[in-house]
Amino acid sequence: MPGWRGTPTRETLKGGVMSKIKQLHSRVGNPDLSHWNDRKTFALYEAAMLTVGIDPLEIDPADWLNYIRRRKHPNWKHAAMVLRAMCEAICEGSMVVIKVYIWEGQFDEYAQPVDADSLELSDAGRIATIETLITRKALLDWYLKNGYAERKQNVSIPQKQAPKSSSAVLENDRQQSTPLLIENKIRGCTGEKIYRAISQFPDEFPSYSENPPPLDKKIRPWLQEELECDAREQHVLGKLVSEHFGLKKRT
């Protein structure tokens, strides 16, 4: 039986400073899960286990949740709720999946691939969590939206401290703000892409203030690759990103 304490942790997933994850991992001795750092995709059950500080390699995936519940793992309740929340996010379209499977048959004896867009919230309990696959990036996005990770902030130390003008203050507010108002007012796939584009832009282009990326050569190709935007979405989201970060006058 695996122990529930481990060696000092390295970040389970690169790309964020852990908040809820850090708390969950500290409850079980900060296990070393760094051997998962190079994985680009995860089965849904693997994502849930790693989130709460459990190494999926140590437990049979077929009965892992009952296994940790029977042995009173400190985070077993969190594991169950994280897994359910991820399933619900897939059904609502707020977590992007590579493939999603649901249980079919009179006794749920086989998993069948389905179109994620066809799922409803009531289907969350039918998702086959071993077969369903998500990307590392989709998982990190879910972490950021739900408070499991905090985005790193770029900090610069100027050579000389000078009083900030009102325009500089407004510029800083714009750069540090998050698109919560946009997310709250625009629903569905469009709102998700706008949220992700603005929230991920500072990480993708950390020096945008000093060296603004060209809209056509950098920003739009990035939107196409990362968010799978079509030509129209690239145009609209590119304009929104440029306006939000004050790039329009500099690109």
| Segment 136-181, tens digit of pLDDT | 999 999 998 998 887 654 433 334 444 444 444 444 444 443 333 3
Mean pLDDT along residues 104-110 = 78
Beta strand residue intervals within 121-247, DSSP E = 133-135, 149-150
User: What digits encode the pLDDT tens for the residues 36-59?
Assistant: 998 999 999 999 999 999 999 999
Which pLDDT score is estimated for 167?
46
Closest listed residue to residue 100, CA positions, set 85, 110, 90: 90
Q: Which residue type, as a one-letter code, is found at position 175?
A: Q
**pTM, full prediction:** 0.56
Which pLDDT score is estimated for 123?
94
First to last CA, the chain: 58
Mean pLDDT along residues 221-249 = 82
DSSP code, position 215: I
Which pLDDT score is estimated for 154?
41
User: Distance between CA 4 and CA 244 in Å, rounded?
Assistant: 45
> Residue 80: is it exposed, middle or buried by C-beta count within 10 angstroms (0-12/13-18/19+)?
middle
Closest listed residue to residue 139, CA positions, set 41, 33, 9, 32: 41
Q: Name which residue leads in pLDDT, 251 or 117.
A: 117
pLDDT class of 190 with cuts at 50, 70, 90: low
User: Distance between CA 71 and CA 56 in Å, rounded?
Assistant: 16
- Domain ranges in the chain are 17-145, 164-244
